[in-house]
Structure 1
Amino acid sequence: MDEASKPAPPADTPHAAPPHDARLYDSALYFNRELSQLDFNFRVLAQAEDKRVPLLERLKYLCISCTNLDEFFEIRAGSLRHAHDLGLMPHADGLAPATVLARIHDRAAELVSSQYDCWNRILRPALAEAGVRVLSRDAWNARQKRWLLAYFRDEVMPVLSPLGLDPAHPFPKILNKSLNIVVVLKGRDAFGRDGNLAIVRAPRSLPRIIQLPESVSGGANDFVFLSSVLSTFVDELFPGMEVKGAYQFRVTRNSELLVDEEEVDNIALALRDELVGRGYLRAVRLEIAEQCPDDIVRTLLENFDLNENAVYRINGPVNLNRVTQVYDLVARPELKFPPFQQRQLPGTEAMFDRINRGDVLLHHPFDAFTPVLELLRQAAEDPQVLAIKQTLYRSGKGSPIVEQLIQAARNGKDVTVVVELRARFDEEANLGFADRLQEAGVQVVYGVVGYKTHAKMLLVIRREDGRLRRYVHLGTGNYHPGTARLYTDIGLMTANPEIGNDVHLIFQQLSGLAPSIKLKRLLQSPFTLHDGMLKRIERETQHARSGRQARIVAKMNALNEPQVVRALYRASQAGVKIDLIVRGACTLRPGVPGVSDNIRVRSIVGRFLEHHRVYWFANDGQPDLLCSSADWLERNLLRRVETCFPILDPALAERVHAEAIANYLADNVNAWELQSDGSYQRLSPSSGKPLHSAQAALLDAING
């Protein structure tokens, strides 16, 4: 029987289903996933308030917390409203969708207040003191105002189409997250129409941040929000009428595409149709200027079919995340993280020879992504390479990965690419490069109906000495050179025959109508990964009950799968010491006496986005270490195609443990510990202990 689908239980303890314990189903033992995800942004915002972080990087953290909140409303809140409409049952936490939505409003209002407080009270003044000024309307001098008026007339006004609201001009469609101004007018226009309300929509072609010329402003880094310019000079659009008020607003809409894959003949065509209307799906949030009169707010709510719980009054620009452009426009290295040189793998000129000598481990972003690109480039050019197979979830614009796959097809290789068209917010880009791949002769597969293909796999088949040899890359992160410099991920390059055969079988399954397959080394969702994790947790539980060495350390992005949580509770009750490093949402409640008092949960928020998934089990002194594309989430374990791969080389397994497990458990700079009440407490060094940042330690290692 294959190892992956049937992990062996302890020799003296036959595997059996764990006993049912009614206590472990108590909803009080589970945090709500959406509220936990929302709270992650408070930890991101804390980085913006941390004086140890370079100033422009703090600005970036603020903007990240804002864009994260946007996506939260587009996806999580949007899906909750849909669940509420359908009358779906609560999850393990026992909270009905309506209850969660009400709590989201209260918690999100706290976050928004904290974001604007950070901007208005902390970052904006600190930036100004450093010579980077984002000027409010009341701070413009006469010369600046004259230049901005000319800019408005020459660059902005010609592309605006203000719309007065009357029976002939009903409320317009408002694009998701677009900048708008609602204008209160008094007087009559040239047609004798009484002024009331008008809507001014800012086209996407207009820059949201305007840099003032140094010759005008006197400062090299002076900026103004477009929203301030529109609000100040909006009267230019309504000559002969009096502007009584102008209030910026922004509406956020549900962005979850709902394609019934079983009811469509061509998912690519169906997605293209859905994408056309994505920007105008159901509204879920209204951001409005703080001073906007209540009657106008009610008018907007009525038009967007929203209630008061969807309103967020804003003390500043409604599109605060756009200030991130300042980061790129300001050339002040001393206000940013110092650059770093990624560690390069020696001998990348002959990747097949290098992999044949032994498995290669890459820990991004500390290790460069170059070896993966080089393997693909050499495979595309090598006459001995017969076929290349790869999964693509997110790859970025102008991806060199796509270019090499196209080149390989042109060079006569048999190239198969599994493209996940439903990668959220990358659907349009993925459709675009899927078309290019097909035009080049690549066989493009759109995965399996009902299951997103989230696995990260690259397979190269090469003829060597009269036989075929398989070379594999497996990863925890996307084939995206850009995020490989920003996200922490693990990649494994190997010629191990059993792993190569497993990957080959999975590709066959994805591209054909293959039956269930037996894998020797890999675990795979939705078939064996969930069960494989449960059995490993149960194995540790049995070890602890028998007095043997037992421990679990797992690092992931999020955790919410109820069976896994209950298995961890049972392990804790048996005495297994469990450390979970969970960046974002975690529904497990640690520190509950008699249930989870042996479980600690920490979250790391630092310079790089923590993204790798590493699962380590002590296994009575014979450690079992695996890396995966999957978090311990219901969707990843049960509704996606994912892979989980072992690190078989003992030296490489020790390296992963040292760098991605022990190193992170020692962090007392960027670590937050989850408390039993759901709050997070930032850790600090114990008396006499030095500061230790896991990410900084890894950077120090590559810098010598």
Structure 2
Amino acid sequence: MENTELDTLNEPDAPEAIDLDNPEFYINRELSQIKFNERVLHQALDERHPLLQRLLFTCIFSSNTDEFFEIRVAELKRQIEFGQEKILSDGMSPEKVLQSISEQYHPLVERQYQILNDVILPELRKENIRFLRREEWNERQVAWIEEFFNESVMPVMSPIGLDPSHPFPRLVNKTLNFIVELDGKDAFGRETGLAILPAPRSLPRVVRLPDELCENGGDNLVFLSSIIHDHAADLFPGMTIDGCYQFRITRNADLEIDENEEDLANALRSELLSRRYGDAVRLEVATNCPDELVEVLLKRFNLEEDDLYRVDGPVNLSRLMQTLSLVKRPDLNYENFTPSLPKTLKQSVKNNIFDEIRKADRILHHPFESFTPVVNLLMAAARDPNVIAIKQTLYRTGENSDIVKALCEAARNGKEVTAVIELRARFDEEDNINLASLLQEAGALVTYGVVGHKTHAKMMLILRRENQQLRRYAHLGTGNYHSGTAKLYTDYGYLTSNDEITYDAHRIFQQLTGMGKIQKTKKLLHAPFTLHKGLMELINQEVKNAEQGLPARIIVKCNGLTEPKVIKALYRASQAGVKIQLIIRSMCSLRPGIPGVSENITVRSVIGRFLEHTRIFYFENNGQPKLYGASADWMERNLINRVETCFPIEPTKLKKRIIEELNWYLEDNCQSWELTNEGVYVLNTPGEDQEEISAQTNLLANLALSS
């Protein structure tokens, strides 16, 4: 942004003259996502994280990058191919965004492998954890690896020589493959020169060598790619191998479903297979792969030079996550902790959990506080003869879910169980189809939400007969009903029997499963109907308060902020003098600190041991704060194209507690990054005389129990 342009915004009457649609005021969402991935990669260099977790962060960077190319880059390429280019608020065309992605991601990937090769692997070696190269194998290891290859690898490999009767194979998305240069004629007299070796997906990408084969003790690991390289000649007997090089192709993995299909589940099943073979969007190859072979691959997959990423190491780094299960070194991992249980809910299995919730609303902050009370509530409902109905939304649940088991038990016990399952939860579609079948077999009523709108709301509603009347109990959350992510993601869960809130939840369930006009709610805001409008009204009220000289402040903690109308409302609030503090983990299209536009706005991102996932919205409201939890981020898809819920947290004690926890995030000077108006994130560090403050560390100390 030109400084001369920003300087003109300092004039006294500038706010009235400023065009808030100016593309210079907005950061492209894809480029902002890259900055988030870069912050994740930086964690691999942060020595406050245990060493094995630093390795994990390099893998998470790879996983994030895969999804970025599978979804975001694929969508940009699709827009260009079909002439459907969308110019968003940042003013960038898809072609320009793709060019910027290439310019930023190539150095990032190079840096990732430098960190792995020059920092992480050498430090692991100091700890007696070795990834052995082929030239390091001793005689006994060579013999063991040969046996492993012959018994476990070779039988499931299918080498494919390229000739007219064996065209280039259809390779699955994100799989490890090798392109092989051959010399000589085979048994049929063919002389093709090239072959493709797809690595079996069923085999681990990291193999642990038996301890008795290792002279120096410790943990000795070998890449599957090294084993295949070493024995590639065994797959082409009588031929000479002149070269064998890793490569991996990333494909478009965004499903295109005709939502008018009579059976959405069957339509989705047929599309899941196509995800494996979508259009190619990225090619990764080993750095030593000759240019002429790279050209063969680029041409085969219809890719350009910008789509090529040469890597100095395994092409599938995300599979290195297996290392954490192969290496048992607690001293190189985070110290274990036990999520705590609020005193009032500790005995909820023995006592009546419904009585406890009826006494007072409860807040659970995961993973510092246990997810168990949520499971216990559902289990109690499944077995309680007074409970007559349970309604629940399910977006992601995980394998062997206790939540699902409880719903099945409830259905078998004769409860009216209604499950609203989102089949289109990205990369969990197949699991959710199976989940739907499981619940239907148990006798539950299963629906798939609303055509054209993903059901992303996190709601559980229980109807219980008490003293000849029906009372409702609800759980509303910012995260999924997934016990696994409840240990890794920060989320809030709200347990309540408030008549107005539970009545609203009931009406939203009716709207999801039935048909009719918009259901009016008293307390809850819900997308796609009232959430966007409600947020705009809350922001505008802060503007009115500021203009009258009354206390005005907004704090937002969520995962993404990209919705243009909301951003403009925040800009207007800043111009009116409202203090706005945004804690946005990932994408943020708002540009803070622009003179005359966003001087009163700060944006920070917290990256640490746990994935920040809470959605909490605070409005000062002239000294009578309004506080909301939500399933929605401040993005177009959440506020406009999904079914979401936003729930007020009204008890004074709970509000005070959550505001205190928000302040820890605002004061964090160890794991937080500040966004500048140039779109750069700067790591916050404590000053010379300042105390170190880490929000996640404080939450662990205050809410969780150390082991």
1:362 to 364, 370, 386: 364
Deviation at residue 143 of structure 1 after TM alignment: 3.0
Partner of 1:47: 43
Partner of 2:686: 685
C-alpha distance in 1, partners of 2:310/2:693?
A: 40
User: How high is the TM-score relative to the length of structure 1?
Assistant: 0.96
Aligned residues of 2:476 and 2:647 also touching (Cα < 8 A): yes
> Is it true that 1:619 corresponds to 2:621 in the alignment?
yes
Partner of 2:488: 486
214-223 or 450-459, which moves further after superposition?
A: 214-223
| DSSP-derived class of the 1:473 partner | strand
Deviation at residue 314 of structure 1 after TM alignment: 0.7
One-letter amino acid of the structure 1 residue matched with residue 153 of structure 2: V
1:35 to 17, 31, 36: 31
378-387 or 344-353, which moves further after superposition?
A: 344-353
User: How high is the TM-score relative to the length of structure 2?
Assistant: 0.96
Matches within 5 A, 1:12-27: 23-27=19-23
C-alpha distance in 2, partners of 1:275/1:512?
A: 28
Partner of 1:242: 240
Deviation at residue 154 of structure 1 after TM alignment: 1.9
C-alpha distance in 2, partners of 1:149/1:530?
A: 62
Partner of 2:230: 232
Deviation at residue 305 of structure 1 after TM alignment: 1.3
One-letter amino acid of the structure 2 residue matched with residue 425 of structure 1: F
280-289 or 186-195, which moves further after superposition?
A: 186-195
Tell me the alpha carbon deviations over residues 580-617 of structure 1, each in whole angstroms, 9 at most, x when there is no partner: 00000100011111111111100000110000000001
1:651 to 650, 653, 657: 653
C-alpha distance in 1, partners of 2:32/2:81?
A: 22
One-letter amino acid of the structure 2 residue matched with residue 274 of structure 1: E
Aligned residues of 1:49 and 1:118 also touching (Cα < 8 A): yes
| DSSP-derived class of the 1:380 partner | helix
Deviation at residue 214 of structure 1 after TM alignment: 1.2
C-alpha distance in 2, partners of 1:692/1:22?
A: 38
Deviation at residue 461 of structure 1 after TM alignment: 0.1
Aligned residues of 1:183 and 1:198 also touching (Cα < 8 A): yes
Partner of 1:13: none
Aligned residues of 1:508 and 1:514 also touching (Cα < 8 A): no
One-letter amino acid of the structure 2 residue matched with residue 192 of structure 1: G
Aligned residues of 1:476 and 1:490 also touching (Cα < 8 A): yes
Partner of 1:569: 571
C-alpha distance in 2, partners of 1:570/1:141?
A: 69
Partner of 1:3: none
Deviation at residue 111 of structure 1 after TM alignment: 1.4
C-alpha distance in 2, partners of 1:197/1:542?
A: 71
Structure 2: segments with no counterpart, 5+ residues: 1-14
Deviation >6 Å, runs of 4+: none
Measured at CA, do residues 38 and 697 of structure 1 come closer, stay the same or move farther in structure 2, by a change above 3 Å? same
| DSSP-derived class of the 2:597 partner | coil
538-547 or 373-382, which moves further after superposition?
A: 538-547
One-letter amino acid of the structure 2 residue matched with residue 479 of structure 1: Y
Aligned residues of 1:249 and 1:288 also touching (Cα < 8 A): yes
2:437 to 410, 435, 440: 435
Partner of 2:251: 253
C-alpha distance in 1, partners of 2:210/2:37?
A: 35
Deviation at residue 687 of structure 1 after TM alignment: 3.1
Measured at CA, do residues 200 and 363 of structure 1 come closer, stay the same or move farther in structure 2, by a change above 3 Å? same
Partner of 1:636: 638
2:463 to 461, 464, 483: 461
Aligned residues of 1:213 and 1:220 also touching (Cα < 8 A): no
C-alpha distance in 1, partners of 2:642/2:537?
A: 20
C-alpha distance in 1, partners of 2:302/2:123?
A: 40
C-alpha distance in 2, partners of 1:566/1:638?
A: 16
Percent identity of paired positions between Structure 1 and Structure 2: 53
C-alpha distance in 1, partners of 2:68/2:701?
A: 34
C-alpha distance in 2, partners of 1:144/1:99?
A: 51
| DSSP-derived class of the 2:622 partner | helix
Tell me the alpha carbon deviations over residues 366-393 of structure 1, each in whole angstroms, 9 at most, x when there is no partner: 1100110000000000000000000000
Aligned residues of 1:31 and 1:587 also touching (Cα < 8 A): yes
1:582 to 563, 584, 589: 584
C-alpha distance in 1, partners of 2:513/2:18?
A: 43
C-alpha distance in 1, partners of 2:401/2:347?
A: 24
| DSSP-derived class of the 1:481 partner | coil
Deviation at residue 20 of structure 1 after TM alignment: 8.6
1:83 to 79, 91, 99: 79
Aligned residues of 2:473 and 2:502 also touching (Cα < 8 A): yes
Tell me the alpha carbon deviations over residues 342-367 of structure 1, each in whole angstroms, 9 at most, x when there is no partner: 11132312210100110011011111
One-letter amino acid of the structure 2 residue matched with residue 675 of structure 1: T
C-alpha distance in 2, partners of 1:228/1:633?
A: 44
Partner of 2:161: 164
C-alpha distance in 2, partners of 1:337/1:408?
A: 38
> Is it true that 1:420 corresponds to 2:417 in the alignment?
no
One-letter amino acid of the structure 2 residue matched with residue 628 of structure 1: A
One-letter amino acid of the structure 2 residue matched with residue 239 of structure 1: P
Tell me the alpha carbon deviations over residues 647-696 of structure 1, each in whole angstroms, 9 at most, x when there is no partner: 0101001111111x111001001000011111110001123111010000
Structure 1: segments with no counterpart, 5+ residues: 1-18
Deviation at residue 494 of structure 1 after TM alignment: 0.4
Matches within 5 A, 1:297-696: 297-345=294-342, 346-349=346-349, 350-659=352-661, 661-696=662-697
> Is it true that 1:148 corresponds to 2:145 in the alignment?
yes
Partner of 2:8: none
Deviation at residue 22 of structure 1 after TM alignment: 5.6
Partner of 1:267: 264
Aligned residues of 1:195 and 1:241 also touching (Cα < 8 A): no
Aligned residues of 2:626 and 2:650 also touching (Cα < 8 A): no
Deviation at residue 21 of structure 1 after TM alignment: 6.3
